[in-house]
Amino acid sequence: MARLLWTVALLGAFRSAVSKPLGLDKRWEELKVKHEWVDVPKGWVQVGRPPTDYPLKMNIGLKQERFDELLEHLYEVSDPEHHRYGSHLSKEEVDELVAPNSMTVESLEAWLTYHDIDPVSSLARTDAGDWVTVTIPICKVEKMLDAKYGVYKHVDTHETIVRTISYSLPSFLHEHVSVIAPTTYFGTMQAMKSHVLIEELVDDQVSTSETVSTQTDVPDSCLRDITPACLFALYNAVGYKPAATDRNVLGVAGYLDQFANYADLQTFLTANRPEAVGFNFTTEKINGGGDDQSIPGVEANLDIQYTVSLSWPTPNVYFSTGGSPPFIPDDFTPTNTNEPYLDWLKYVSSKPKVPQTITTSYGDDEQTVPRDYAIVVCALFAQLGVRGSSVLFSSGDSGVGGGDCLTNDGRNVTQFQPAFPASCPFVTAVGGTTGIKPETAIFFTGGGFSNYFPRPPYQNDDVADYIDKLDGAYDGLYNAKGRGFPDVAARGDRFRVVISGKTYHVGGTSASSPTVAGLISLLNDYRISHGRPPLGFLNPFLYSKGAAGLVDIVGGTNPGCGTQGFNATAGWDPLTGLGTLDFGKLQSLVLYEDED
């Protein structure tokens, strides 16, 4: 019953409505606001207007006819107590569920035709038809959306993008169109910063930790210097040898012209996993993404060096997504000013097979992401989960919130700031820890409660218990009914990373997420090698049978917004979730004798 009520509440945002036939007397110019900001989002200032014939690539997300059925499938195939556990859907089955109904398609095409856009020759469509892409002059976009686009510059990063602070659609289209991009989502490119902290230069490039093959305990050196050997020891994964490397894949999502470097990986492996030297990852370029080996990215190298070294010899793929070149007001050439994040999701969802494990270390304050955009992106993660992919996100590095923590809805009141996509209920959010024997929550670990998404049933009891322990503390600063995050945690500081041949210490939940991804990839390998399907969407398992394979973290706080933040305590907490992974225990929990 709890799951049913939550699904009904969530579908208030996701479900497509039943439309009345489109009459000939509809007034196409009767527009209704789809989304608008009270003011220009914080950190951005308008510096000009784009040329009137600037070509804008417009992505139109259509309401999905049977998304409620997809959610039912997702929870059934992800619940270890359900007889369908692990029976993930194919791409074709997902496409059928997310396809828009005929009235939605007809209504969109009629609107485009009214604006002299040929729905046959001008449009690119996804296989399911739930996304339509068309490139048209921005002057026409402004008329269609009753919008006024500007060139906006970020005061800190100095990047420039083309956005509007408001857009509208004909009233009848609201029940057919979920979102149009790019419009009001400003949190892209450098503003969509990765959660990574470069701490200091390490003088030597040779690991001081013991080798993986002989590691039986966590040495004190791991307090100051994290290597793959430390992580294997910390999380009880020493000695596991993957056996399903012909079927299992680990994916890393990269943005912002962050390129993973092949030579740096070899230098890293030589020092930290010598038996893996010579092994490398592959790069898939998306939407103009690059692979410039002359400019290694800190985030990209951190991710790849740890996913590869932990999962070796499992194939690793680095997704290099474009979409971040600056807009130059007097440049009339087509410059991609679209959301690279959305481009990545559309690309991966279109693949016949998806990686069994995916890690991403990027995100924004939830309130900076338009609600309609966040809902659509979150739905795309559900599609990956129901196809058998475990999607992991870092929870952020600002505690309960960075900056002044003021709301951007015109009230300007102080409120904790959850991070998105970590707040999406269909991803597994990863917080950060520090220390050994025991680990504690690291002070910057992001965590809290979503203001967009209700608390999902899989975590209802655990989160409710924590809120009871708060006993009224911070009431009004967070949404007690929202999805709580993170779900799990891992070490988040002093990771050795090779960048341009030199070794640095790097930290952040950007390190935590690929660490957990490496371990989950090994668990997926274990299941696949035993003839079982991959774990897929992890959270229903983690909050039930999997909890016995997690180590509770009970110390630390995550200050922010002028407060001490939440505290780590027994049970789930919004700093470290359910705790860190014990690979050995999880191995014994992920195989079920009653599975088909």
| Active site positions, annotated | 299, 303, 510
The shares of helix, strand and coil residues in the chain, as percent rounded to the nearest 5, are: 30, 25, 45
Contact call for residues 235 and 583 (beta carbons, < 8 A) = yes
Alpha helix ranges (H) inside 411-531: 460-470, 509-529
Torsion of CA 477, 482, 485, 487, to 10 degrees: 150
- The 8-class DSSP code of residue 494 comes to -
Nearest of 43, 48, 176 to residue 101 by alpha carbon: 176
Q: Cα separations (Å) of 415 from 193, 391, 411, 431, 518? A: 21, 28, 11, 20, 34
**All residues at 6 or more sequence positions from 472 whose CB lies less than 8 Å from its CB, including other chains:** none
H helices, E strands: number in the chain:
14, 26
Nearest of 504, 580, 529 to residue 240 by alpha carbon: 529
Distance CA 577, CA 14 (A): 26
Distance CA 85, CA 541 (A): 10
Other C-beta atoms within 10 Å of 459: how many? 22
Nearest of 330, 288, 338 to residue 54 by alpha carbon: 330
Q: Which residues of 550-567 are buried (b: 16+ CB within 10 A; e: fewer)?
A: bbbbbbbbbebbebebbb
Q: Between helices 371-386 and 91-98, what is the axis angle to 10°?
A: 150
Alpha helix ranges (H) inside 501-570: 509-529, 539-542
N-terminal to C-terminal alpha carbon distance within the chain:
26
CA atoms in the 13 A half-sphere facing the CB of 400: 27
